[in-house]
Amino acid sequence: MSIEVGDHIPNSILTIMNDQGPQPVSTADYFGGRKVVLFSVPGAFTPTCSAKHLPGFINHADDFDSRGVDAIACVSVNDVFVMHAWGRSAHAKGVDMLADGNGEFAAALGLEMDASAFGMGTRSQRFALVADDGVVTQLLVEAPGEFRVSSAESVLSVL
C-alpha cells in the first residue's frame, strides 16, 4: 500500500553528502518542523531525470522559497557518491541530494518499482510530494513512463 495524503513520512534513514563526507539523516529530522518538497527519480544521470526533472527544481528554487517551502530534496535509489556527483554536475544549488541506497525508503513509501528490464533492479517510482512537518499534504505519482505531474511546474501549481 502506498503512502497517501495525510500520512506521516515513514521513519527511514537516507544519506546526504556534506563537508565531512556521507552523513545519515533520518526522515524524522529532515522533514520535522518544516515544509519540504521531495521529488523522486528512478536514477541519477538518466535521461529524463537529468534533462528535465532535476533542472526544473533547480531553476524554480526561488519560486518554491517564495511559496514558503523550506527545503527541496531529490531522492533516488542510488548511493550517496552518485547522488553527490550528479548534484555537482547539475549545479543543484538549492536542492538536497538524498541517497536511498538500498531502496528502503521507496519501499516504506510503497512507491518502489521493478526496473530489472532496464538492468536497474528495484528503484523508486517517479513522484513528488509536499510534506508539512512530516505529514504529506500533496502526492503526485507519475504513471509508468510519464513525466508530467511530478515536474517542478506541476508541484508549484498545487502550492
For the stretch 105-134, pLDDT in tens is: 999 999 996 767 776 657 789 999 999 999
Q: What is the pTM of this model?
A: 0.93
> What integer is the mean pLDDT of 127-149?
95
Q: Which residues contact 19 (CB under 8 A, 6 or more apart)?
A: none
Per residue in 41-74, pLDDT (tens digit) is 988 887 777 778 999 999 999 999 999 999 999 9
49 carries an active-site annotation? yes
Task: Look at 158 and 50; give whichever has higher pLDDT.
Answer: 158
Res 121: pLDDT: 59
Q: From the candidates 9, 17, 44, 49, give the one annotated as an active-site residue.
A: 49
CATH of domain 13-158: 3.40.30.10
Res 119: pLDDT: 66
> What integer is the mean pLDDT of 99-103?
95
Mean of per-residue pLDDT scores for the chain: 93
Where in the chain are the domains? 13-158
